[in-house]
C-alpha cells in the first residue's frame, strides 16, 4: 500500500530477521521497481529507530513490536505530529464453550499457541474453557502437546523450533518460572532443548503472576475454567491488550453477542485466534496498538487530504 499510494518506503527490519528483508528487496529490484522506491536499513535498532522516527523526511510511521518501544516511537513522532500506526501484540483469549465442537477447538488451540513457537501477536496465550467441556478438553490438549516434536525445523516432523533469540528465551523461561513459584500448575512442559521451548501448558494461573497479563511470546498458554459465557468474557477482557479473540460454540447468536462485548479489535467465531486477510483492516485496541493496517485503513496514514478551489468569476 505504501508504494501503491505513491510513496517511497524505508524498512527497518528486526535485527533478528534481516535476511528476509534483503531477499525481499532483491525480488522487488529484479521485478523492475525503480531504485530508491523501496529502501531498507539495518543496524542498532535503538539508534536507527530514533533517527528514522525523528527525521524530517519521514512523513509517517508504521511500527510493529513491543508496547514499550511502541510508546517510545509514538512519543518521538508526537514532537513533529507525524501519524503513527502501532501493532504491539496481544494476550489473546481462546474461549471454548460447552456446546463447542471439541475436535475443532483442540485443533485451534494447538495451532493457536504452538504455531511459529508461539511467536505471533495473535497467539492463543489464554485458553478459557467452560467447566463441562473442560473435563474432556484439558486432558486431550495435554496429550496433543505430548506428541508435539521440538527441535530442528529442517525436520518436517518438527512443530516447534528455537525461540528467536537468547534474550527472548530468557523472557519465556522467566514467565513460566514466576508462575510456578507463585502456585501455578504445570500440566505439560519441562526441560528445554537448547533454545527450544517445549509446548507449555499452565493452570491455576492468577492475576499476580506475570504470565497472566504480559505477552510471553512463546509456546506457553494458560488454561482457565469458567462457568458460563459471561464469566468467560469478563476474564477475556481482563487484560490491557485487545487484539484477537476466538470463540468456539454452536450457538452463533450467543457468539455474536459475546463478540460485541469483547474488547478485542478482531473476533473469530469457531476459528483460531490467528487470522490475517489482506482485504480486512488488521489491528487491536488498548496496548495492542493504534490504528489499523490493510485495505482502505492504510489510506489515512499513507495519503494526505488537500482541498483545492478555483474561484470562477
Catalytic residues: 87, 121
Helices 102-114 and 131-146 cross at an angle (nearest 10°) of 50
| H helix runs in 165-206, sequence order | 166-181
Cβ atoms of 286 and 263 within 8 Å: the answer is: yes
CA atoms within 13 A on the CB side of 36: 1
Please report the sign of the dihedral spanned by the C-alpha atoms of residue 167, residue 172, residue 173, residue 179. positive
Instruction: Report the DSSP beta bridge partners of residue 150.
Output: 160
Nearest CA to 48 out of 35, 33, 63 is that of 63
Contacts of 132 (CB under 8 A, 6+ apart): 98
Distance CA 234, CA 229 (A): 9
Amino acid at each position: 500500500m505504501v508504494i501503491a499510494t505513491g510513496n517511497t518506503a524505508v524498512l527497518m527490519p528486526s535485527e533478528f530477521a534481516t535476511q528476509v528483508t534483503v531477499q525481499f528487496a532483491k525480488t522487488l529490484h529484479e521485478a523492475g521497481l525503480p531504485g530508491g522506491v523501496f529502501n531498507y536499513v539495518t543496524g542498532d535498532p535503538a539508534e536507527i529507530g530514533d533517527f528514522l522516527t525523528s527525521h524530517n523526511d519521514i512523513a509517517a510511521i508504521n511500527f510493529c513490536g513491543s508496547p514499550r518501544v511502541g510508546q517510545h516511537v509514538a512519543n518521538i513522532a508526537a514532537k513533529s505530529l507525524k501519524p503513527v500506526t502501532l501493532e504491539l501484540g496481544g494476550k489473546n483469549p481462546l474461549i471454548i464453550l460447552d456446546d463447542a465442537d471439541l475436535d475443532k477447538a483442540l485443533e485451534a488451540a494447538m495451532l493457536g499457541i504452538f504455531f511459529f513457537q508461539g511467536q505471533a501477536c495473535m497467539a492463543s496465550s489464554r485458553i478459557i474453557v467452560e467447566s463441562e467441556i473442560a473435563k474432556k478438553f484439558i486432558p486431550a490438549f495435554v496429550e496433543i502437546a505430548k506428541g508435539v516434536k521440538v527441535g530442528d525445523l529442517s525436520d518436517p516432523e518438527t512443530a516447534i523450533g528455537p525461540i528467536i533469540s537468547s534474550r527472548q528465551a530468557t523472557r519465556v523461561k522467566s514467565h513460566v518460572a514466576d508462575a510456578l513459584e507463585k502456585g501455578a500448575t504445570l500440566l505439560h512442559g519441562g526441560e528445554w532443548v537448547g533454545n527450544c521451548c517445549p509446548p507449555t501448558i499452565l493452570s491455576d494461573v492468577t492475576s499476580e503472576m506475570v504470565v497472566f497479563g504480559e505477552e510471553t511470546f512463546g509456546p506457553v498458554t494458560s488454561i482457565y475454567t469458567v462457568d458460563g459465557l459471561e464469566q468467560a468474557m469478563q476474564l477475556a477482557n481482563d487484560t490491557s491488550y485487545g487484539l484477537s479473540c476466538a470463540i468456539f460454540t454452536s450457538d452463533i447468536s450467543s457468539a455474536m453477542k459475546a463478540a460485541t462485548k469483547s474488547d478485542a479489535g478482531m473476533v473469530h467465531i469457531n476459528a483460531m485466534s490467528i487470522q490475517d486477510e489482506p482485504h480486512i483492516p488488521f489491528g487491536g485496541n488498548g496496548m495492542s496498538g493504534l490504528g489499523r493496517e490493510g485495505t482502505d485503513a492504510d489510506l489515512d496514514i499513507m495519503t494526505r487530504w488537500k482541498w483545492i478551489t478555483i474561484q470562477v468569476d
